[in-house]
Amino acid sequence: MRLEVETPDVLVDVTHLSFDRIDESDDGGLRIGAGVRNSDLAADRRVRTRYPALAEALLAGASGQLRNLATTGGNLLQRTRCAYFQDVTKPCNKRDPGSGCPAREGEHRNLAVIGHSQHCVATHPSDLAVALAAFDAIVRVVGPAGEREIPLVDFHRLPGDTPQHDTVLERDELIVAVDLPALAVAANSRYRKVRERASFSFALVSVAAALDVAEGEIRDVRIAFGGLAHKPWRAYEAEEVLRGSAADAAAFTRAADAELKQAEPLRDNGYKVELARNTLVRTLLELAG
């Protein structure tokens, strides 16, 4: 709003609504209220022990002051950091549909390599969303028609020809909570974020990964990338390659290549593909011990 990207006539303050709790759910998972602050979520003992990559993702985002204010719902709905989107003197299909996408031929070093379209090549900036995508989280929303549940992997959209819509949330819907299912593999998880400086910077590439290895064989695995696409990118192809395979560098590299073969880098961001491969392999090697 300060940049005048949004100029609403009316603002509704939802911060006083009573959805600021983290509760145990019946299935052994956690229900995170949409108003839970990023700092409180990262500090929660249950999150740190049962879903450590989630705490790491939160602590890799923004700054201490921002995390003290940022909420679970708000963080998922933050908009892209594409420089053209934030500059109201420039055309941008996301801000002004039909006006064009100058980033495709212009400055796109930090933008998408997977799932982009002619109309938009932006990335989604949330770190929290990447860890939630890896852990099969569900977004609970309420609207005039009642409640509905949206898997986090389906909550954010690819741009297609309507990049103005970041998510499938309808205009009159409110996020009330995010459900984390009980997930044993998540206890051995990590979030690794590569950025241009050590703090207060968005991901060039990030990886949330969880691994369960028994007698050298992978029993379960979860992987999601950040910084590559218009949405958190769940790496289903890589997971498929890894289930039942050896837990070694060769398998991790094969898995990364299987996922990243769909990448279509732009003129200046091909480095992200190699960065994503190396970041995933290194994260999985750490998790494999």
Q: Any idea what DSSP says for residue 124? A: -
**Of the candidates 36, 41, 54, 103, which one interacts with ligand SF4 according to CB under 6 A?**
103
In the complex with ligand SF4, which residue's Cβ is closer, 61 or 159?
Answer: 159
Whole-number minimum distance, CB 116 to ligand SF4, in Å? Answer: 8
Quote the least distance from Cβ 87 to ligand FAD, whole Å. 16
Encoded tokens for 58: 């939160």
Q: What one-letter code names the amino acid at 126?
A: S
Nearest residue to 281 via CA among 163, 167, 192: 192
The binder of 181, among ligand SF4, ligand FAD, none, by C-beta within 5 to 8 A per type, is none
Shortest Å, Cβ 111 to ligand SF4: 6
Q: Which one among 36, 53, 70, 185 touches ligand FAD, defined by CB under 6 A?
A: 70
| DSSP conformation letters of 19-87 | ---EEE-TTSSEEEETT-BHHHHHH-HHHHHH-HHHHHHHHTSS-HHHHHH-BHHHHHTPPP--HHHH-
127 or 239: whose CB is closer to ligand FAD? Answer: 127
Site for ligand SF4 in 69-88 (CB under 6 A): 80, 82, 84-85
The entry of ligand SF4, ligand FAD, none near residue 78 (CB within 5 to 8 angstroms by kind) is ligand FAD
**Could you say whether residue 33 binds ligand FAD (CB under 6 A)?**
no
Cβ atoms of residues 139 and 152 within 8 Å: yes
Q: Give the sheet arrangement for strand 138-143, strand by strand.
A: 22-24, 30-33, 174-180, 138-143, 146-151
Is residue 122 a contact point for ligand SF4 (CB under 6 A)? yes
**CA of 118: how far to CAs of 88, 100, 229, in Å?**
20, 9, 14
One of 29, 125, 159, 232 touching ligand FAD (CB under 6 A):
125
Name the one range near ligand FAD by CB under 6 A: 59-67, 179-187, 261-269, 275-283: 59-67
